[in-house]
């Protein structure tokens, strides 16, 4: 690994100032589970690392303004075990509990996960289905980005020079809402999924779909939102035919690549299978919530 300078400001303003000063030569680092690997592989060669761990408050998980706000420094384990998340966003706790190993979850942060923009990661899939928004701080102040507009391409995001992910906001689920997450692991628990799918459904008291969101991972250059499939579900009751139609619509948007986890066609077929599973799981949960 190449030589670099390291600093750890104790305020967000200090971090942003150092990021701006460092320019293209600087990178923010928290858990480092992704960045350090890229550095060891010489895929990135920052001259300066700016640590975030001394910035107070960026690891908070709290309810604010009708949303659950998850600070960028919250680790996967923090989120998995948070009483707020386990009570109000059970599917997110379930998703995080299935990421890699406990050792990784104790270190990896949600902000780093989003900024890294690896299309094979699980958390963005569920956050897409939950209609999350990314809170971003930078030289021009703070702004927000819908998560489905945040990922641009392989390992590319809407972050501008000098900007930093500071939190992710997730709306509190509406009455009659529920979600489910399913993924297929080809080998061990710490491997990337062949396909990952999360679905969120809101039903009327009569069991009709009022709102639907579907996120997919590991089957395209970014985490994907299956909007055409969502549209098919609105105003409908659960049926095998409906799930098949939504799954087919989702399959049409995926663009997987062949790798040791499966051929492109295999992943495309699996995407349809897991969309059906996630939708049925979310629908069954929502039916119980709406009853």
Give the rounded percent of residues in the chain with a pLDDT score beyond 70. 99
Res 288: pLDDT: 87
Confidence band of 290 (pLDDT split at 50, 70, 90): low
Please tell me the distance from the alpha carbon of residue 13 to that of residue 208, in angstroms, as a whole number. 48
Task: Please give the biggest Cα pair distance in the chain.
Answer: 63
Please tell me the distance from the alpha carbon of residue 52 to that of residue 31, in angstroms, as a whole number. 9
Backbone angles phi, psi at 194, to 5 degrees: -70, -40
Q: Quote the pTM value.
A: 0.96
User: Are 183 and 286 within one domain?
Assistant: yes
User: Are 253 and 277 within one domain?
Assistant: yes
- Does residue 231 lie in a domain region? yes
- Does residue 208 lie in a domain region? yes
Asked if pLDDT for residue 193 goes beyond 80, the answer is yes
- Does residue 245 lie in a domain region? yes
Per-residue pLDDT tens digits for 207-216: 999 999 999 9
What contacts 41, CB < 8 A, 6 or more positions away?
Answer: none
Closest to 246 (Cα-Cα) out of 279, 284, 197: 279
- CATH classification of the domain holding 25: 3.30.43.10
Kindly give the residue spans of alpha helices, DSSP state H, lying in the chain. 12-22, 35-40, 76-81, 83-88, 90-97, 102-105, 110-116, 123-129, 147-150, 227-233, 240-253, 264-290
How many domains would you assign to the chain? 3
Segment 135-141 shows an average pLDDT of: 98
Decide if 164 contacts 136 (C-beta within 8 A). yes
- Does residue 269 lie in a domain region? yes
- Does residue 56 lie in a domain region? no
Per-residue pLDDT tens digits for 208-240: 999 999 999 999 999 999 999 999 999 999 999
User: Are 157 and 260 within one domain?
Assistant: no
- Does residue 142 lie in a domain region? yes
Kindly give the residue spans of alpha helices, DSSP state H, lying in 130-263. 147-150, 227-233, 240-253
Res 282: pLDDT: 99
User: Are 106 and 204 within one domain?
Assistant: no
- CATH classification of the domain holding 69: 3.30.465.10
User: Are 138 and 214 within one domain?
Assistant: no
- CATH classification of the domain holding 234: 3.30.390.50
User: Are 228 and 276 within one domain?
Assistant: yes
| Domain residue limits at 47 | 5-51
Per-residue pLDDT tens digits for 145-181: 999 999 999 999 999 999 999 999 999 999 999 999 9
Query: CB-based burial of residue 228 (10 Å sphere; 0-12 exposed, 13-18 middle, 19+ buried)?
Result: middle
């Amino acid at each position: 690994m190449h030589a670099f300078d390291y600093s750890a400001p104790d305020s967000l303003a200090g971090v942003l100032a150092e990021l701006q000063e460092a320019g293209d030569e600087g990178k923010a680092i928290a858990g480092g589970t992704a960045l350090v690997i890229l550095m060891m592989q010489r895929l990135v060669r920052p001259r300066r690392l700016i640590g975030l761990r001394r910035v107070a408050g960026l690891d908070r998980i709290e309810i604010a303004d009708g949303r659950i706000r998850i600070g960028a420094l919250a680790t996967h384990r923090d989120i998995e075990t948070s009483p707020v998340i386990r009570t109000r966003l059970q599917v997110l706790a379930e998703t995080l509990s299935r990421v890699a190993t406990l050792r990784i979850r104790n270190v990896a942060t949600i902000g780093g996960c989003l900024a890294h923009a690896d299309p094979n990661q699980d958390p963005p899939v569920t956050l897409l289905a939950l209609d999350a928004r990314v809170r971003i701080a930078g030289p021009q102040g703070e702004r927000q980005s819908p998560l489905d507009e945040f990922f641009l391409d392989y390992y590319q995001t809407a972050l501008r020079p000098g900007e930093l992910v500071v939190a992710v906001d997730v709306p509190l689920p509406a009455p009659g809402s529920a979600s489910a997450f399913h993924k297929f692991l080809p080998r061990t628990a710490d491997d990337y999924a062949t396909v990952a799918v999360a679905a969120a459904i809101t039903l009327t008291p009569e069991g009709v779909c009022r709102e639907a969101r579907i996120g997919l991972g590991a089957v395209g250059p970014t985490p994907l939102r299956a909007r055409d499939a969502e549209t098919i579900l609105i105003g409908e009751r659960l049926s095998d035919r409906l799930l098949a139609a939504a799954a087919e619509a989702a399959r049409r948007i995926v663009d997987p690549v062949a790798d040791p986890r499966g051929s492109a066609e295999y992943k495309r077929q699996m995407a349809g299978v897991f969309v059906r599973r996630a939708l049925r799981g979310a629908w069954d949960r929502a039916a119980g919530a709406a009853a």
